[in-house]
């Protein structure tokens, strides 16, 4: 395959992964969806090992399309290790631009062949892990027994995948034809399926954002709070606190602990704000490009981040200074350590309610943005 020049634009990057066995029409699908003219291998195993990236700008969006090397029975294990590992690595990133925003898995209606090993070793692990995989039934044009073949393929895939994930949606299985013209049998071939593929891709991306952002916030809060707790305990253990008349030393120490906590909250909220801005930009830009019905222009909506605000929360380390003139520095360190631990647990306890409230408001905002 020829290398296309990479184009960088000031728009979100959209990463598309196309999977399937050699000869099922992956390259033709890419050409059809993104207006490319990549050479088609006519069923030969032309795609070398690894993921092959192509970049194209369409409707002002930079698409990075990754075509996998063909899945063959004699190298299924190597394919699993390489490709599935890369999918997991990318989709665990807190940065939306790193994700595979759509995963297309292709089966050809020409052969109507779906191998059990392919489904069990690749598709089932993907959907079981929560990845929204769109199954594209290529070569779905009119032809001998095509309707019956497509019906049988769809029923088998739905039945099998719903055993692994009961909420797998039938709309994620799409009939598609990439080629226009006349077949050898004289049948007229028409292209179809592009609009449906792109619209479902956007819906799946919005659902991924709605699911992953609250989880990102939760893990980020936990990590940053754990850092604050560790710093605080070290600071308490080594700070200068006089043995007598130590109220002032203790108050200064508490002031420093709370300043660090406030700065930690600021970092948490800043990270959340950046992720929210990126999510809103992604969805608004894709919607404005016509990838979902009824959307005329970009709307960068606030995704209700106030539900997740920590900076203005009333959390702080406090200590009762009654009798402080007669407390030893050891007692003050012990009591401060207990207060830090209590404050830490109080914040973690509030995290679940905040995350759930944010998830609900996020879904409402995404629904309004995408008009589904």
| Identity of the highest mean pLDDT range in 51-65, 139-153, 257-271 | 257-271
What pLDDT does 314 receive?
A: 84
pLDDT of 226 higher than 80: yes
Query: How confident is the model over 250-273, as pLDDT tens digits?
Result: 888 899 999 999 999 999 888 888
CA distance 194 to 346: 50
Retrieve residue 343's tokens.
Answer: 């404050």
d(CA 272, CA 221): 10
CB contact at 8 A, 118 and 141: no
Average pLDDT, integer, range 194-204:
85
Least confidently predicted of 110-124, 297-311, 348-362? 297-311
Q: What pLDDT sits at residue 371? A: 57
Query: How large is the average pLDDT for residues 105-118?
Result: 88
Q: Tell me the average pLDDT across 93-121.
A: 87
Asked whether residue 344 carries a pLDDT value surpassing 90, the answer given is: yes
Options 1.10.10.60, 3.40.350.10, 3.40.50.300, 3.40.50.10420; CATH for 13-192 is 3.40.50.300
Q: Delimit the domains of the chain by residue range.
A: 13-192, 212-370
pLDDT at 146 over 90: no
pLDDT confidence of residue 11: 62
pTM of this prediction exceeds 0.85: no
Give the residue-averaged pLDDT of 306-322: 76
pLDDT digits (tens, 9 = 90+) for 75-96: 667 777 777 888 888 888 878 8
Asked if 4 contacts 63 with a C-beta cutoff of 8 angstroms, the reply is no
How far apart are alpha carbons 93 and 219 in whole angstroms? 12
Query: Pairing between strand 102-108 and 133-138?
Result: parallel
Q: How confident is the model at residue 368 (pLDDT cuts 50, 70, 90)?
A: low
Quick one: pLDDT at residue 7?
31
């Amino acid at each position: 395959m020829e290398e296309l020049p990479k184009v960088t634009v000031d728009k979100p990057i959209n990463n598309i992964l196309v999977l399937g066995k050699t000869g099922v029409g992956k390259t033709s699908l890419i050409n059809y969806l993104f207006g490319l003219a990549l050479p088609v291998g006519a069923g030969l195993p032309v795609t070398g090992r690894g993921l092959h990236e192509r970049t194209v700008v369409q409707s002002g969006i930079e698409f990075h399309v990754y075509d996998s090397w063909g899945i063959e029975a004699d190298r299924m294990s190597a394919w699993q290790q390489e490709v599935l590992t890369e999918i997991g690595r990318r989709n665990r990133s807190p940065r939306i631009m790193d994700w595979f925003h759509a995963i297309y898995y292709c089966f050809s209606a020409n052969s109507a062949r779906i191998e059990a090993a392919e489904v069990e070793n690749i598709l089932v692990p993907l959907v079981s892990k929560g990845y929204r995989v769109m199954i594209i039934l290529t070569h779905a044009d009119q032809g001998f027994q095509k309707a019956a073949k497509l019906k049988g393929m769809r029923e088998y895939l739905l039945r099998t995948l719903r055993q692994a994930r009961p909420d797998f949606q039938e709309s994620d299985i799409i009939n598609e034809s990439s080629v226009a013209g006349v077949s050898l049998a004289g049948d007229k071939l028409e292209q179809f399926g592009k609009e449906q593929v792109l619209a479902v891709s956007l819906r799946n991306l919005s659902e991924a954002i709605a699911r992953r952002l609250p989880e990102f916030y939760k893990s980020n809060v936990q990590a940053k709070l754990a850092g604050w707790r560790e710093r605080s305990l070290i600071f308490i253990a080594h700070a200068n606190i006089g043995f007598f008349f130590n109220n002032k030393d203790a108050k200064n120490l508490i002031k420093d602990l709370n300043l660090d906590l406030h700065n930690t909250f600021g970092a948490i909220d800043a990270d959340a704000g950046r992720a929210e801005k990126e999510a809103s930009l992604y969805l608004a830009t894709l919607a404005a490009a016509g990838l979902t019905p009824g959307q005329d222009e970009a709307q960068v909506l606030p995704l209700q981040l106030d539900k997740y605000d920590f900076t203005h929360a009333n959390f702080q380390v406090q200590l009762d200074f009654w009798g402080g003139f007669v407390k030893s520095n050891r007692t003050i360190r012990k009591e401060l350590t207990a207060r830090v631990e209590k404050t830490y647990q109080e914040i973690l306890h509030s995290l679940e309610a905040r995350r759930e409230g944010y998830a609900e408001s996020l879904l409402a905002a995404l629904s309004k943005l995408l008009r589904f």
